[in-house]
Amino acid sequence: MPARRVAWVSDPSASSPTSRPYVDKVAWVRVADRRLLAARSAGKELFYLPGGKREPGESDVQTLAREIEEELSVTVEPSTAVHIGTFEAPADARTDGRVVRLTCYTADHRGEPAPSREIAEITWLTSGDGDRVSAANRLVLEHLHHAGLID
């Protein structure tokens, strides 16, 4: 299944045309100096957008705030969260046909991103770093580059 941008909509609950099982993730898009913030978990090779899976009953924005606090010790301002897109691509290292559905938000924050104990490293990426990220994250890099937001 090829990677694709699924939705560029104001309603992040819009249904996806994908009928396969998917991994539902929410991610923070933080751009500074025309670069995108990314993190790498301990023991992993690829970088990903900070964020993660929702807990039962959580909204996208609640998931975003919790995950960013856990991963980067940053407080996301929920009232400033803006949905910028939902992207789908085959899940890395999975052979069961699962896809990742990555619902992305920008949001203001307090604090400076710093790796938590579950994060081995943070970095700032450009569109030329597609080989350093998962397929879903590559779609986000491409989208931000085409929008003129990152180099």
Q: Please give the Cα distance from 104 to 85 (Å, whole number).
A: 5
Multiple choice CATH, 4-146, 1.10.287.610, 3.90.79.10, 3.40.50.300, 3.40.640.10: 3.90.79.10
Looking at every residue in the chain, the average pLDDT score rounds to 87
pLDDT of residue 89: 92
Residue ranges of domains in the chain: 4-146
Which residue has 């990742």 as its token pair?
Answer: 100
pTM of the model: 0.85
Single-letter amino acid code for the residue at 28: W
Give the helix, strand, coil percentages of the chain, each rounded to 5. Answer: 25, 35, 40
Q: What is the mean pLDDT of residues 5-22?
A: 46
Single-letter amino acid code for the residue at 62: Q
Write the burial class of residue 116 (CB in 10 Å: 0-12 exposed, 13-18 middle, 19+ buried): middle
Residue 65 and residue 76 in contact, taking contact as beta carbons nearer than 8 Å: yes
Q: Per-residue confidence at 7, pLDDT binned at 50, 70, 90?
A: very low
